[in-house]
Amino acid sequence: MFGSFTQQLRAAAAAAAFAIALPAYALDTVKFMAPGSPGGGYDQTARSLGKAMQEAGVAKGATYENKGGAGGTLGLAQFVNATKGDVNALVVMGAIMVTGVMQNKPQITLANATPIARLFTEYNVIAVRKDSPHKTLADLLNDFKKDPTSVKWGGGSKGSTDHIGIGQLANTLGVPVDKLNYIPFGGGGEVVAATLGGHITAITGGYGELSKYIESGQFRVLAVGSPTRMPGINAPTLKEQGVDLEIGNWRGVYGAAGLTPAQRKELTDAVVAATKTKGWQDNLKANAWASSLLTGDEFAAFVDAEHARLRAMLVKVGLL
C-alpha cells in the first residue's frame, strides 16, 4: 500500500515539474490588425510587437491582417466588429488614425475599442533624391519661400502626420498654406518611386520606412523633425537649422471592445513585457523609433489630448 502511495506521490511530483517546465503564456495567438498597407508603418509595428511578445514568452504566436483606407478607420471598424471581448486581439494605431477619425467621421471610432499602450514616437525626415539640386535644407526652403508651388512635397495620405507636418512648416515660414503643393500617396512604395523618378521635389516620412533608400545613398536627408539629434541618423534637426518645429508620429495599440479590467491588465502587461525584449529594443534602434511607453488611463488621456491638438492643426492647415 505504501509503495503504491509513494509511486502516486512521485507521479504527482513529476506531473507538477512538467507543468512548471511548460511556458505559461499569458495570451494565445495574438491577432494583429495593421490598418494600412503591407510594409507600411502600422504593419512594421504589428510584426515587430508580435515577434517581441513571442520572445517575451507572453504569446504562443501571432497573426497579421492588413486593411488600409480612410486613414486607418476601415481597419479599425473591421477590428471592432470582429473581436468584441477577445483578449488576444490588438489593432495598431497612432496620430494618423486620430486625424483619420476626424476627417472621415466614421460610425466606429477609437471610443469603440480599449486603449492599451503608446509604444514609441517616429520622427519625420525631409529628404531629396541624391541628384537633387537642393544640397541643404536652406536651398530647399529658399525655393519654397520664393515660389511655394514650385516645390512638390510627397508623403503619406491627406491629413497624415507627413501632410500636417509640411503644413506646419509652411505656417512657421510664413508661406500661405493654400500655396502648399503637397501630393499625398497611399503607400510608401509609390511616393519613393515618384521621388526617385524626379516627380517629387522632397519626400517626408518616418525614418524606418525610408531607411533603406537613405542608407543606400539614393536619398539625402536634409533635416529630422526630432527635438534633438537621433542616434544613427547623420543629419541635423529642423531646430538646429533655425526652424522651431518638431514633426513626428506616435504609434500605439488598442484592444478589443468589451474587455474586463482583468483582461485589459493582462493584455497591457503582455505588451509592456514585449517592449523589454532585445528584439524590440533592436527594432527601436534600427528604425530610429524613440521609445515613449504610456499605458492605461494615462494613455487614454493622452489620446484625448491629441484629438484636440490635431484638430487645431488640421484647421490651421486647411484640412478641416
49-90 pLDDT, tens digit per residue, is: 999 999 999 999 999 999 988 889 999 999 999 999 999 999
Is pLDDT of 253 > 90?
yes
Domain membership of residue 14 (yes or no) is: no
C-alpha cell at 89: 486581439
- If asked whether residues 276 and 129 sit together in one domain, one would say no
- If asked whether residues 234 and 263 sit together in one domain, one would say no
The residue range of the domain holding 61 is 27-122+249-316
- If asked whether residues 115 and 194 sit together in one domain, one would say no
pLDDT of res. 69: 86
C-alpha cell at 248: 513626428
- If asked whether residues 152 and 105 sit together in one domain, one would say no
Q: What phi and psi, each to the nearest 5 degrees, are found at residue 47?
A: -70, -40
The residue with greater pLDDT, 188 or 108, is 108
Which of the 8 DSSP states describes residue 237? B
CA–CA dist 169, 238 (Å, integer): 10
- Which amino acid, residue 118? R
Domain membership of residue 11 (yes or no) is: no
If one counts the domains in the chain, the total is 2
CA–CA dist 128, 135 (Å, integer): 9
- If asked whether residues 109 and 257 sit together in one domain, one would say yes
Burial category of 4 from C-beta neighbours within 10 Å (exposed 0-12, middle 13-18, buried 19 and up): exposed
Q: What phi and psi, each to the nearest 5 degrees, are found at residue 301?
A: -65, -40
pLDDT tens for each residue of 3-49: 555 566 565 555 444 444 445 688 999 999 999 888 888 999 999 99
Q: What is the CATH number of the domain that holds 194?
A: 3.40.190.10
CA–CA dist 73, 67 (Å, integer): 9
CA–CA dist 27, 203 (Å, integer): 40
